[in-house]
Amino acid sequence: MTTLHQEHTAHDHAHGPHCGHTEVPHGDHVDYAHDGHLHREHGGHWDECEPSGHAAHESHEHRHSGDCGHARVRHGDHDDYLHDGHRHAAHDGHWDDH
C-alpha cells in the first residue's frame, strides 16, 4: 500500500517528541495525530499521512474499544487504535491496517 503525498498547507506548528500530540510509528517515520489528521514531516513541510487503498489487517482477533488498553487517536470521522506499531480502524466487520 502506498501513501499519498498531500501537503498540509498553513501548518505552523512544529511537531516533535514534546509537542503534546500523540506520536504514531508508521513504517520508516513517525506521524503526529493532530486535530483528526496524521501529519508527517517531509521535505521541509508537513504532509497528511494517509494510505491509498484498503488494507484489511488479516487474522486480527483482538477487539479494540475504549478500555482495551491500546492508545486511541482520532482520525477523520473515526478512532484508530495503536497496536503493535499499526493503526487499526474498524471497517465492515474487520479491522483495517492504516
Does some domain include residue 44? yes
**Structural domain range at position 10:** 6-53+68-97
Q: Residue 33: name the closest of 19, 21, 46, 20 by CA.
A: 21
Q: How many domains is the chain built from? A: 1
> Each residue of 59-71: pLDDT tens digit?
767 777 778 888 7
Does some domain include residue 20? yes
Q: How high is the pLDDT of residue 98? A: 66
Does some domain include residue 62? no
> Each residue of 11-43: pLDDT tens digit?
677 778 888 888 888 778 888 887 777 888 877
Nine-digit cell string for 1 = 500500500
State the pLDDT confidence band at 52, using cuts at 50, 70 and 90.
Answer: low
Indicate if the pLDDT at residue 1 is higher than 50: no
